[in-house]
């Protein structure tokens, strides 16, 4: 990997038709997946975890909340630093911080320390949002969409598999073992990133305050950024609303399905993960704008198709929900890949800040869809069934 050098402030020294070495792409995809997985390890373990440390159901519910809050704050206040400092050092530094936060969670004797660790995990897990712009920088323009799509596949698989792995490990080895194992995996990816990633020259000399202030300037300067952020934010409203209410609907009339069946719908996220590199290749060949239209159209069609549900039998309604869930997730994730390709091509010197703006819009959309109060899951129900697959 050391043969890859960053020649200037924005791009690696590779030709337009060159391809990144497969081990480097694998490193980026694995790093993104393991980083974002740290956000979701706690969710299927909440019941066991709460009983073990003597925390109430209400108190233990703040663990995933603070983790997501930390991630959102990290995106807004820490990710822009990628334009100011060497991204390799930032990625490795956040990996070290994530290891410490995970070990702190593993050793937490009480809910108070666990909540502090959860917030820290969320902030440090934003190394995933440093890895994706790094991949866009290293990728030659002709293959940027494919590379970003492949790295996003790793990120999405990290989200999808994290809950399955943590549930299994917690059941057989205990919840503390899961946090310790997660810390070990992140430590390995941090060491591999230090050895395998090239150095990145800073693309900005702005101070921290000016760097954050430039986010608003970028927003007003680039119409493409505004369109991409608003479009993905609106899609996120529907995405979060769909997955947040699905489990409750399946428990009621006319399905009366248990939590395991409801949770199985989360596997629809695999469609988005597997389709990410395909969407990236299509964006490279036909343009990302086409992919955004196709993805948004598929999302709208999948959502509208559920209006046919009253006309079908119970079994027909269930199959329609399955098809809609797959189409919905596929459309949203394909559109996200296309929007990332558009945003990363706007200003090579501001990719981290552009990425921060885009994902701030995504989180605002998700938060907006959850403002209405809804029923809380029972204390003995696995939170995997209630947690949507998020970027």
How many structural domains compose the chain?
A: 1
Q: Which domain holds residue 354?
A: 22-385
DSSP state of 269: H
Question: Token pair for residue 358?
Answer: 């885009």
Residue 244 lies in a domain: yes
Give residue 210's pLDDT. Answer: 93
Residue 16 lies in a domain: no
Residue 2 lies in a domain: no
Alpha-carbon gap, residue 32 to 156, rounded angstroms: 9
Give residue 8's pLDDT. Answer: 38
* One pLDDT digit (tens) per residue for the chain, 391 residues: 433 443 333 444 343 445 789 999 999 999 999 999 999 888 778 878 888 888 887 888 888 888 888 998 999 899 999 999 999 999 999 999 999 999 999 999 999 999 999 999 999 999 999 999 999 899 888 888 888 888 988 988 888 788 778 888 888 898 999 999 999 999 999 999 999 999 999 988 989 999 999 999 999 999 999 999 999 999 988 877 776 666 566 666 677 665 445 556 666 666 666 777 788 888 888 888 999 999 999 989 988 888 887 777 877 888 888 888 888 888 888 899 899 989 988 998 899 999 999 988 888 887 676 544 444 444 344 433 444 444 4
Contact present, 135 and 90 (Cβ < 8 Å)? no
Give residue 83's pLDDT. Answer: 93
Alpha-carbon gap, residue 378 to 150, rounded angstroms: 37
Tell me how far CA of residue 41 lies from CA of 63, 151, 163, 177, 333, in angstroms: 11, 20, 6, 11, 22
Residue 198 lies in a domain: yes
* Paired residues of 6 in beta bridges: 12
- Check which CATH number belongs to the domain holding 257 and give it: 1.20.1250.20
Alpha-carbon gap, residue 77 to 292, rounded angstroms: 28
Residue 173 lies in a domain: yes
Exposure on the CB side of residue 341, measured as CA atoms within 13 A: 36
Give residue 364's pLDDT. Answer: 82
Alpha-carbon gap, residue 185 to 190, rounded angstroms: 9
Residue 10 lies in a domain: no
Alpha-carbon gap, residue 44 to 67, rounded angstroms: 14
What is the number of H-type helices and E-type strands within the chain? 16, 0
Any idea of the CA torsion for 23, 339, 43, 251, to the nearest 10 degrees? Answer: -130
DSSP state of 257: -
Give residue 378's pLDDT. Answer: 42
Nearest-5° Cα angle at 46, 74 to 156? 50
Contact present, 139 and 28 (Cβ < 8 Å)? no
Alpha-carbon gap, residue 182 to 186, rounded angstroms: 6
Residue 390 lies in a domain: no
Residue 13 lies in a domain: no
- Sequence-distant (≥ 6) Cβ neighbours of residue 143 within 8 angstroms: 19, 20, 284
């Amino acid at each position: 990997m050391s043969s890859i050098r960053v020649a200037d402030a924005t791009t690696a020294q590779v030709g337009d038709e060159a391809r990144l070495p497969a081990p480097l792409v694998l490193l980026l995809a694995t790093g993104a997946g393991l980083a974002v997985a740290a956000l979701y390890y706690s969710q299927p373990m909440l019941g066991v975890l709460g009983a073990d440390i003597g925390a109430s159901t209400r108190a233990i519910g703040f663990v995933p909340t603070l983790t997501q809050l930390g991630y959102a704050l990290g995106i807004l206040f820490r990710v822009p630093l990628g334009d100011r400092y060497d991204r390799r050092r930032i990625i490795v530094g956040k990996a070290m911080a994530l290891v410490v936060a995970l070990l702190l969670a593993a050793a937490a004797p009480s809910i108070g320390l666990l909540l502090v660790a959860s917030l820290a995990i969320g902030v440090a897990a934003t190394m995933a949002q440093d890895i994706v712009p790094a991949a866009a920088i290293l990728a030659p323009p002709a293959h940027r969409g494919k590379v970003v799509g492949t790295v996003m596949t790793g990120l999405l698989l990290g989200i999808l598999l994290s809950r399955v792995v943590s549930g299994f490990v917690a059941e057989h080895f205990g919840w503390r073992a899961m946090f310790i194992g997660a810390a070990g995996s992140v430590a390995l990816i941090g060491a591999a990133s230090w050895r395998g990633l090239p150095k990145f020259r800073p693309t900005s000399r702005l101070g921290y305050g000016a760097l954050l202030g430039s986010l608003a300037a970028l927003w007003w300067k680039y119409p493409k950024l505004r369109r991409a952020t608003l479009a993905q934010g609106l899609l996120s409203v529907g995405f979060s609303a769909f997955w947040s209410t699905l489990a409750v609907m399946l428990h009621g009339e006319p399905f009366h399905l248990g939590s395991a069946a409801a949770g199985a719908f989360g596997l629809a996220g695999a469609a988005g993960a597997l389709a990410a590199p395909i969407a990236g290749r299509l964006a490279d060949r036909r343009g990302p704008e086409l992919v955004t239209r196709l993805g948004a159209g598929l999302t709208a069609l999948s959502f509208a198709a559920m209006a046919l549900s009253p006309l079908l039998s119970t079994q027909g309604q269930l199959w329609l929900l399955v098809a809609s869930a797959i189409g919905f997730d596929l459309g949203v994730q394909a559109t996200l890949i296309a929007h990332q390709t558009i945003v990363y091509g706007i200003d090579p010197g501001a990719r981290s800040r552009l990425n921060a703006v885009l994902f701030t819009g995504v989180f605002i959309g998700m938060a907006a869809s959850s403002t209405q109060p809804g029923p809380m899951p029972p204390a003995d129900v696995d939170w995997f069934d209630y947690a949507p697959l998020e970027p």
